[in-house]
Amino acid sequence: MFLAPRVPVPVFPLPAFVLFPGAQVPLHIHESRYRSMIRDAATGERLVAMATLGPGWEHEYHGSPSFLPQGCLAAIDSLDWRPDDRYDLVLRGVVRVRFTRTVREFPYRACEVDVQPDAPVDEADPLTTLERTGLIDARERLLPLGPEAWVMPPVVPPDAPFERLVGVIAQSLRAPIERRLEWLALDRLSDRARAVRDHMLAIGARRGA
């Protein structure tokens, strides 16, 4: 599943969107160029790289708007073709990547990427257990806030792998795009977990949760 350094991958840039390793996101694909991308990916490695569009993307969206260098490689977990030739799919974040050289522009972009795996995590380490407990406790306190705190329900079992737990909560939580990019840039999963938990605690303090 993991790519060798600087292997070209199709790029799917979206505005104000960040995907985290371990998280899943449903998408509806309707643009012609991205329908082509998904068809090609589905018959190949079933991988695309999710990117965040840069400032000013609105003025050149139908061309080649710039996107930010940090992204996430995603696997196609499920794919449904619709009669109007559109697609509904579920992507799962696999590993962080950094975009380097663009090798193709048409009909969709493909870039070389540097793969940036998170530092290894020992699930049995007491520090990991503490981080897991802190995340779960903060999530439980914020659940009653509903859409005030969450973009989507943070559905993940407490005993899920630590990467999935952190990714799902980060993906589900309401946070500015700049904050999400900061979380994604962290090399250690424990650092990302603490940053996400601190954000949840700040929301709870403001809302009295």
Domain residues of the chain, as ranges? 7-116, 126-207
How would you label 12-29 residue by residue, b for 16+ Cβ within 10 Å and e otherwise? bbbeeebbbbbbbbebeb
Q: Which fold has domain 7-116?
A: 2.30.130
Report the DSSP pairing between strands 7-14 and 47-52.
parallel
How would you label 163-198 residue by residue, b for 16+ Cβ within 10 Å and e otherwise? bbbbbbbbbbbbbeeebbebbbebeebbebbbbbbe
Q: pTM of the entire structure?
A: 0.93
- Residue 29, SS3? strand
pLDDT at 1: 47
Measured between alpha carbons, how far is 135 from 22 in angstroms, rounded to an integer?
A: 15
Measured between alpha carbons, how far is 49 from 75 in angstroms, rounded to an integer?
A: 9
Measured between alpha carbons, how far is 52 from 98 in angstroms, rounded to an integer?
A: 12
pLDDT at 23: 98
Instruction: Walk along the chain (209 residues) and give the pLDDT tens digit of each residue.
Output: 455 545 689 999 999 999 999 999 999 999 999 999 999 999 999 999 999 998 876 667 666 788 999 999 999 999 999 989 899 999 999 999 999 999 999 999 999 999 999 999 999 999 999 999 999 999 999 999 999 999 999 999 999 999 999 999 999 999 999 999 999 999 999 999 999 999 999 999 998 76
pLDDT at 6: 59
